[in-house]
Structure formats: C-alpha cells, structure tokens
C-alpha cells in the first residue's frame, strides 16, 4: 500500500508538471513570431536568390574558358582533283586522249604530260582523310558587351536593396501582428477575469435581493432587476471566455505554435506617451516607410531596364585565343598531331533587325510609366492610411484619458459606498453595485489601453519605427 501510494504521488507530480500551462511573455512571442513567419522566410529566400544573381552578374564580366574535344568521320564524297569520288581516277586526261583515237606518235608528248598531271592530281586527292580528331582550349573575353554587364550588375544591386527594405517590412509586419494579438489576448484574459468577478458579485446581489424581498424590505422589481443583471453577467462571461479562446488560437497559429489548451500569456499593457502630428508623420513616412523604399528601388530598376533595352544599339566587341591539337587520318593510319593555335578580336553591331530594338525600348518606357503611376497610387493610399492612423491615435488617446477619469470616479464611488455601508447608510446591495461599476470601469479602461496601443502600432508601422 505504501509503495502504491508513493507511486501515485510521483505519478501525480509528473502529471501535474506535464499539464501545467505554458505561459508566454511578449518578447518570447515576438521571437517565435519572427522565427516562424512565412512572409519573413519567403523574403529571406528571395534575398539568397538575388545574392546569387549579383554573383552571376560579376561572373559575366570575367572571361569564359572552354575545353572542346571533337571527333568526326567523313563519308566518301566527290573530289574535283580525282575526277570522281575521293580516291578514284576515272575520267582522267590520258583516258580522254586515248578514247579520242588520236595518233599516238603525233601526240606522244601530250599523252605523257597527261599521265603526269593525272598522277599529280590523284596524289592531291589521296591527301583527303576521312577521320579528324581535335582538342582545343579556348578563352573568350567580352571587351564591351553593349554595357549589359554593368547594367545587369546595377539592376541586381538595386533589386537587392529593395529586397532588404521588403525584408525589414516583413519583420515589422510580423512584429506588429504578434504584438497586437498579444495585447488582444491580454485584453480578453482581463475581460474574462473581470466578468468572472462580476458574476460572483451579481450572484451575491441576487441572493441579497431575494432575502430582502422575502422579509418585506425589497420589491419584486428589485429582485427581477438583480436576476436580469445576474443572467446578463453569465452571458458576458461566456462571451469573454469564447473571445479569449479564439484570440489565443489565432495567436498560436500566427506564431507557428501547435494548438495547446494550456497556452497562456502574461504581462501588462506597455503604455508609453506617443503623439505625432500628420505633417511630421508624413515627413518621416517618406523617408522610413519600407514599402515606399522598396517601390522607389523598383523605379530605379525600371530606369535601368530602359537603358538595357537601348543598349542593343551599341556594338559588341570581343577577343579571345585558342590553343589546340588536330589530327586527320584514315583507317589504320598512325595518328599525327599538329598544333592549332589562334587569337582573335572582333566586333558585332546590328544595323537593322526590323525596328525590334526601338519597339523593345518603347515597351520598357511604357512599363516605367505604368510603374510610376502605380507608385503614385501607393503613395496616395499610404497618405490616406497615415491620416486615418494619426486621427485614430488622437481619438484613442482622448478615450484613454476619459477612461482613466471614469476609472478614478468609479473607484472613488466604491470607496465611498464601502464607508457608507460600514456606517449603515448603504446596504450591501448598494456596495456590490458600486463594486460592479468599478469593475466595468476597469474593463473600459483596459479596452481603451488596447485601442490606444493598437493605434500606436499602426502609426509606427507606417513610419518604420517598430
């Protein structure tokens, strides 16, 4: 029995530790949110790709070195030197003279000369080999590649700078979303706690109202009102619990955590005085907003693309050298290798290609103008968003100040009701109602805190200050 009891205690201890809630603070959630953010990972992979493209652009400015090995076999073909197929001698000059039945004595000199020429041409024809092997090492260097290498490198660098802004914007967005969801979960948690306390108070008020009605010191209307308040508090508590679970589920999904019923957050609303006027905010946004920075870098890329389209008008200048060996042979011959070396320099320039270069340039210019219009639309949208964010910041700041005043008044009313109850001028029902009002003022204060902090996050996100 003692062993079983000991085993049960140990098992309970382990079970209790495994079932304990995992509580997260805001810094921990921010770290998890950045580590598991799909948007941040996607932009990071784009950065890696662009880094490779920059290296590729540098590589295009370097010489190209190639090693080539070739073997070819030529079938029998017609040879003008041999009078027929390669290696044959039909149709020779001597045969032609003989077939003409020319007097041999009279033409003996011509006949001898014809035989000599036939033998000579046949020797030339036999020099043709049917197999060729070669091995060549070559180097090619573009001296002026129409400016495409420099333009391509500039495009890659500017695009990389744009991606750096995009990465910073993704980080800021992830931090803003995580922070806002943390505060939403914190607000839902505080609301659930306050609603639970309100249920307890409403239940006590209902109990006292029934007692007073039973002894003739209260009316039926007071009892019905107390019952109505109690039932309403039950609904509010259930809504608060549902809101808490939903907010925590969204937060866990957003930061990449598996669903966990024991998930919990801890902390307080981090209040900081933050007010900014629209003119100052607009000036900051023009310089620091990462979306605008990325779009402006994109406009620089469009300018370079126009230059790239125009570069087809320029000449291509190149040079190179090759070092190799070559051998020609017939079946059964011994291979003899000969040097095959050369250097070269050249230029290529397009004179006419159906005006395609001109059309490509017009297309690039049209893309640039479209991009400028899109940039203007985005700037207008950001300006409207900034006006609204600054206005909401001012509105929520005033609401926060009002909620602080209401909270102080409700707390003071509760203190006075408590003193009045102690001296007998107020009933316990009055005291409980004053405490309920104080709890509701707390709830309104926390909601104002959340609204103010959300407005601060919106403005800071637009200004690139998160």
**Pair 443, 402: CB distance under 8 Å:** no
Say what percent of the chain tops pLDDT 70.
Answer: 84
Residue 201 pLDDT greater than 90, yes or no: no
Show Cβ contacts of residue 306 under 8 Å, excluding neighbours closer than 6 positions: 361, 364, 365, 368
Closest alpha carbon to 71 in 130, 123, 147: 130
Q: Number of C-alpha atoms within 13 angstroms, CB side, residue 301?
A: 17
Range among 13-22, 113-122, 129-138, 381-390 with highest mean pLDDT value:
381-390
> Is pLDDT above 50 for 342?
yes
Q: How far is CA 80 from CA 99, 304, 393, in A?
A: 21, 57, 95
The percent of residues in the chain predicted with pLDDT above 90, rounded, is 40
- The candidate with the shortest Cα–Cα distance to 347, out of 317, 314, 320, 319, is 317
Distance CA 283, CA 297 (A): 19
pLDDT-based confidence at residue 2 (cuts at 50, 70, 90): very low
> Does the pLDDT of residue 141 top 80, yes or no?
yes
Model confidence at 370, in pLDDT bands (50, 70, 90)?
A: very high
The pLDDT value recorded for residue 110 is: 57
pLDDT digits (tens, 9 = 90+) for 248-284: 999 999 988 888 888 999 999 988 888 899 999 999 9
Task: Report yes or no: 118 and 94 within 8 Å, Cβ to Cβ.
Answer: yes
pLDDT of residue 369: 92
Which pLDDT does position 371 carry in this prediction? 92
Q: What is the mean predicted confidence (pLDDT) over 335-346?
A: 86
Where helices occur in 132-219 by DSSP H, the ranges are 148-214
Looking from the CA of 395 toward its CB, the CA atoms found within 13 Å total 9
Q: Is the pLDDT of residue 318 over 80?
A: yes
Model confidence band, residue 5 (pLDDT cutoffs 50, 70, 90): very low
**Residue 184, SS3?**
helix
**Can you tell me the mean pLDDT for 245-250?**
93
Higher per-residue pLDDT: 337 or 15? 337
pLDDT band at 12 (very low <50, low <70, confident <90, very high): very low
pLDDT of 6 > 50? The answer is no
Average pLDDT on 348-371 reads: 86
What DSSP string describes 115-146? HHHHHHHHHHHHT--SEEEEEEEEEEEEEEET
Within 10 Å of residue 412's Cβ, how many Cβ atoms? 12
| pLDDT, tens digit, 9 for 90 and up, residues 386-414 | 999 999 999 999 999 999 999 999 999 99
Compute φ and ψ for 84, nearest 5 degrees. -160, -140
- pLDDT tier, 8 (very low <50, low <70, confident <90, very high otherwise): very low
Sequence-ordered alpha helix ranges (H) in 37-107 = 38-60, 93-99
pLDDT at residue 352, as a whole number: 80
Q: What is the pLDDT of residue 315?
A: 87
Residue 171 has pLDDT above 80, yes or no: yes
Question: 8-17, 346-355, 406-415 — which one is most confidently predicted on average?
Answer: 406-415
Per-residue CA distances from 113 to 93, 110, 118, 119, 394 (Å): 9, 5, 9, 10, 115
Task: Decide if 299 contacts 372 (C-beta within 8 A).
Answer: yes
- Rounded to the nearest 10 degrees, what angle do helices 220-255 and 148-214 cross at? 160
What is the average pLDDT score of the chain?
82
SS3 223: helix
pLDDT band at 19 (very low <50, low <70, confident <90, very high): very low
Q: What pLDDT, on a 0 to 100 scale, did the predictor assign at position 308?
A: 86
Q: Rounded to whole angstroms, how far apart are CA atoms 199 and 207? A: 12
Terminal C-alpha separation, the chain: 61
Confidence of residue 128 (pLDDT cuts 50, 70, 90): low
- pLDDT band of 235, cuts 50, 70, 90: very high
């Amino acid at each position: 029995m003692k062993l079983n009891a000991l085993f049960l205690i140990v098992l309970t201890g382990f079970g209790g530790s495994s079932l304990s809630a995992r509580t997260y603070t805001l810094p921990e959630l921010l770290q998890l949110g950045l580590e598991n953010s799909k948007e941040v990972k996607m932009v990071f992979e784009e950065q890696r790709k662009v880094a490779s493209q920059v290296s590729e652009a540098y590589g295009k400015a370097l010489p190209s070195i190639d090693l080539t090995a070739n073997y070819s076999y030529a079938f029998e073909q017609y040879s003008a030197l041999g009078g027929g197929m390669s290696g044959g001698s039909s149709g020779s000059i001597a045969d032609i003279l003989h077939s003409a039945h020319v007097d041999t004595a009279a033409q003996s000199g011509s006949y001898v000369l014809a035989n000599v020429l036939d033998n000579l041409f046949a020797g030339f024809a036999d020099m043709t080999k049917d197999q060729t092997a070669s091995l060549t090492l070559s180097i090619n260097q573009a001296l002026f590649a129409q400016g495409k290498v420099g333009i391509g490198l500039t495009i890659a660098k500017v695009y990389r700078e744009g991606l750096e802004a995009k990465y910073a914007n993704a980080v800021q967005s992830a931090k803003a979303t995580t922070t806002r969801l943390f505060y939403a979960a914190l607000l839902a948690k505080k609301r659930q706690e306050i609603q639970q306390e309100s249920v307890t108070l409403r239940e006590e008020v209902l109990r006292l109202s029934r007692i007073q009605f039973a002894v003739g010191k209260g009316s039926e209307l007071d009892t019905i009102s107390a019952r109505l308040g109690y039932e309403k508090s039950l609904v509010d508590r259930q809504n608060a619990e549902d809101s808490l679970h939903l907010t925590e589920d969204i937060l866990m999904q957003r930061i990449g955590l598996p669903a966990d019923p024991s998930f919990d957050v801890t902390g307080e609303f981090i209040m900081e005085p933050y007010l900014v006027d629209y003119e100052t905010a607009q000036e900051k946004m023009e310089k620091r907003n990462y979306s605008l920075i990325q779009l402006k870098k994109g406009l620089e890329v469009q300018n370079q693309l126009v230059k790239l389209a125009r570069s087809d008008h320029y000449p291509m200048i190149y040079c190179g050298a090759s070092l190799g060996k070559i051998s020609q042979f017939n079946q059964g011959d011994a291979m003899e290798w000969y040097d095959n070396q050369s250097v070269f320099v050249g230029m290529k320039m397009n004179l006419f290609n159906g005006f395609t270069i001109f059309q490509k340039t017009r297309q690039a210019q049209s893309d640039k103008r479209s991009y400028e219009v899109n940039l203007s639309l985005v700037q207008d949208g950001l300006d409207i968003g900034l006006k609204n964010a600054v206005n909401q910041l001012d509105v929520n700041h005033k609401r926060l100040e009002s909620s602080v005043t209401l909270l102080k008044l409700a707390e003071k009313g509760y203190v006075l009701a408590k003193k009045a109850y102690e001296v007998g001028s107020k009933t316990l029902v009055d005291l409980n109602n004053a405490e309920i009002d104080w709890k509701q003022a707390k709830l309104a204060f926390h909601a104002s805190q959340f609204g103010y902090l959300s407005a601060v996050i919106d403005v800071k996100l637009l200004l690139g200050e998160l």
